[in-house]
Structure 1
Amino acid sequence: MTADIQPTYPLTKAQAEEIASLHEADTSELEGRLKDLSETCQSNCTTGFSKCTTHQNEMRKLYQTAYTAASSGRWTSYRPEEYTQDLKKMFDAQASIEKINGRVRKEKLQHIKDSQCTFGPGDHPTAKKIKMRAAELRGTATPQSDIDSYITEEEEKLLSALTSEEQEAQAEYDKSKSEDEKYSYLRTYACTSQPTDTPRDIELRQKWTKLFENKVPYSEILPVVEKDIADAKSNAQILENRLADLRNAQAANNKAKAAKEESKRKQADDAIRRCCSEGCGNVCELNGPNADLGCERCFALKEEGALQDYSWFCSPECAKTNAGSHNSRFHSA
């Protein structure tokens, strides 16, 4: 891999641990040298350390070296070049050490936020929610220790919910210590085909593979991959919404069609007169001598609007035999 890969957020767990270890060692070394310098001054100078120009200048050199020297693998290597240039200008302008330390603390806090809250290309949706919440907490008075605890607890919950394959992939990523390893992980993630790939997924993987083959830097490939994934999800959602609209329209059309068919069926049923005699149910004549055989009382009630349907008999015999039972059932009140 090319040597021009720039350190890029987010950090893997291995990188975060290594940076923390180096920072602790660097801080301890700086504090040790400052202590030795102070003790030397107190032993040899009568003015006192705070008023000794010689040793104060040496102290500034110690800070300047610690803050602005090349720092491969340190947290400062992840910060913009403008940060180091800003510090150099402050030292050149003889800014106080207190002011310079304040500038360093501010940048370190931003580094912590970027390392904890920057989205990665393979981030689970829940991981992104955790990072967004952590970013919100950093805008409040919440102690850093509480934010760290929140992130750790939520990440452990997420990890336990992942499949064994997802856990294995996450473990491999977390072990990445160098930008080369992160670059390799991103290439594997972006370019390895999956059984569930759609034609669009295949096109994107081919596009990303060409970027890696052309040795495009990690910092340039990462946003391309993230944007392509976001666009693909957005397009998929648009298609899903259109499909849902089509399904709804089809359902409405089917419902209207069913209602129309039901109306036709009812009309057909209404056109068939069936004998009202209990247990008969024969079809009555629509024309002929028996076409008007029916219950006179039902006819009258129908005309008055008190009854919904007429009552017909299929034959004079059925009318004579069942008229009494019909009256007792429907007109006995």
Structure 2
Amino acid sequence: MTADIQPTYPLTKAQADEIASLHEADTSELEGQLRQLSETCQSSCASGISKCATHQNEMRKLYENAYTTASPDRWTSYRPAEYTQDLKRMFDAQATIDKIHGRVRREKMQHIKDSQCTFGLSDHPTVKKTKIRAAELRGTETSPSDIDSYVIEEEQKLLLTLTPEQQEVQAEYDKSKSEAEKYSYLRTCACISKPTDTPRDVELRLKWMKLFDNKVPYNEILPVMEKDIADAKSNVLLLENRLADLRNAQAANNKAKAAKEESKRKQARDAIRRCCSEGCGNVCELNGPNADLGCERCFATKEDGVLQNYSWFCSPECAKANAGSHNARFHST
């Protein structure tokens, strides 16, 4: 955690233009100093600067100042502190200027790659694909200018697919010149609430807001956000799976309950017996004082194991009136 906002990749378009302008000015100033030193040496030294130890040392000092002096808003401010320390060690160890130039070129190329290919918080999926491809092309035989052209072309294609509102947001971000402006934009993207936010989303945005308010470097906040989002998605998937299991269990329970109820209804239907008396049709009492009013003829047949369904009379009167004339056509189940 730091009180100052640390420079972080990716660069906005305005930042990239500003850094390029400052770098061009710095390079022009250094070249002017070197040219003046060379002219001074030529006018005062017969051997020339390549063989003049005094002016060679002065030239090294010019390069050392240009390469190792703290330079806010320059591209070197985005590089790790180890880079400047490495250069200082090379100067102290009297490394050749060519080796030092080579070290600077490698770091500058890495800066260009990082500024062009680092993912941003609000990057469109197409932008991420473009950055991945640009990173793959770096270090190949493809020229830097061709890579830049490819990135610009893909960005222009994407702009045509964005809504006016999305184009406006992108334009505002591209205009951010300072790290403070870019940091503020990133804070807004990460922390502003949306209509679709869940209670968990609200909690996470408040958590991220505290990180931004404490000026935690963005490159330290981004991994936290990515982990929080991944965990939230995992939890949602887990809850969805649990909900599906509960729904399946509920459906199975409802099915079993329905089957049980249907079984009860069937048993109730099976338990109903209509009177065997012709023209009666009343429900017989299968329990209670008249439970033994079974048709004697049917009962005898049932006892012999021939008749499966037993017929009943609804009352002693029906039994008395119809027992003698009972016929199988009156059987009811």
In structure 2, C-alpha distance between the alignment counterparts of 1:229 and 1:65, rounded to whole Å = 45
The Cα of 1:32 is off from its aligned counterpart by 1.1
- Where does residue 286 of structure 1 map in the other structure? none
In structure 1, C-alpha distance between the alignment counterparts of 2:33 and 2:245, rounded to whole Å = 71
In structure 2, C-alpha distance between the alignment counterparts of 1:107 and 1:147, rounded to whole Å = 18
The Cα of 1:139 is off from its aligned counterpart by 3.5
The Cα of 1:163 is off from its aligned counterpart by 1.6
- For the pair shown, which has the larger CA radius of gyration, 1 or 2? 2
Q: Identity over aligned residues, as a percent?
A: 80
Structure 2 vs 1, CA of residues 242 and 172 (structure 1 numbering), >3 Å: closer, same or farther? farther
Structure 2 vs 1, CA of residues 64 and 157 (structure 1 numbering), >3 Å: closer, same or farther? same
Structure 2 vs 1, CA of residues 160 and 231 (structure 1 numbering), >3 Å: closer, same or farther? farther
Structure 2 vs 1, CA of residues 204 and 108 (structure 1 numbering), >3 Å: closer, same or farther? same
Query: Structure 1 residue 67 and structure 2 residue 73: aligned?
Result: no
Q: What code does the residue aligned with 1:18 have?
A: E
- Where does residue 293 of structure 1 map in the other structure? none
Structure 1 range deviating more: 238-247 or 144-153: 238-247
Structure 2 vs 1, CA of residues 246 and 141 (structure 1 numbering), >3 Å: closer, same or farther? farther
SS of the aligned residue for 2:205 comes to helix
Q: What code does the residue aligned with 1:77 have?
A: S
- Where does residue 224 of structure 2 map in the other structure? 224
The Cα of 1:226 is off from its aligned counterpart by 3.2
Q: How many residues align?
A: 250
Structure 1 range deviating more: 40-49 or 236-245: 236-245
The Cα of 1:212 is off from its aligned counterpart by 2.6
In structure 1, C-alpha distance between the alignment counterparts of 2:99 and 2:247, rounded to whole Å = 65
- Where does residue 83 of structure 2 map in the other structure? 83
In structure 2, C-alpha distance between the alignment counterparts of 1:225 and 1:123, rounded to whole Å = 14
The Cα of 1:204 is off from its aligned counterpart by 1.4
- Where does residue 26 of structure 2 map in the other structure? 26
Q: Decide whether the 8 Å contact of 1:117 with 1:135 is kept in 2.
A: yes
The Cα of 1:42 is off from its aligned counterpart by 0.7
Structure 2 vs 1, CA of residues 243 and 159 (structure 1 numbering), >3 Å: closer, same or farther? farther
The Cα of 1:176 is off from its aligned counterpart by 0.9
Q: Decide whether the 8 Å contact of 2:9 with 2:114 is kept in 1.
A: yes
SS of the aligned residue for 1:36 comes to helix
In structure 1, C-alpha distance between the alignment counterparts of 2:126 and 2:237, rounded to whole Å = 19
Structure 2 vs 1, CA of residues 224 and 47 (structure 1 numbering), >3 Å: closer, same or farther? same
Q: What code does the residue aligned with 1:133 have?
A: R
Structure 2 vs 1, CA of residues 43 and 224 (structure 1 numbering), >3 Å: closer, same or farther? same
Q: Which blocks of at least 5 consecutive residues in structure 2 are unaligned?
A: 249-333
Per-residue deviation, residues 128-186 of structure 1 (Å, max 9, x unmatched): 11100111111421100010000000011111111222111111111111111111111
Q: TM-score, normalised by structure 1?
A: 0.69
Q: What code does the residue aligned with 2:121 have?
A: P
- Where does residue 133 of structure 2 map in the other structure? 133
- Where does residue 95 of structure 1 map in the other structure? 95
SS of the aligned residue for 1:72 comes to coil
Q: Decide whether the 8 Å contact of 1:176 with 1:182 is kept in 2.
A: yes
In structure 2, C-alpha distance between the alignment counterparts of 1:177 and 1:243, rounded to whole Å = 48
- Where does residue 54 of structure 1 map in the other structure? 54
Structure 2 vs 1, CA of residues 45 and 247 (structure 1 numbering), >3 Å: closer, same or farther? farther
SS of the aligned residue for 2:50 comes to helix
The Cα of 1:244 is off from its aligned counterpart by 9.6
In structure 2, C-alpha distance between the alignment counterparts of 1:115 and 1:30, rounded to whole Å = 24
The Cα of 1:17 is off from its aligned counterpart by 0.4
Q: Decide whether the 8 Å contact of 1:121 with 1:226 is kept in 2.
A: no
In structure 2, C-alpha distance between the alignment counterparts of 1:36 and 1:28, rounded to whole Å = 12
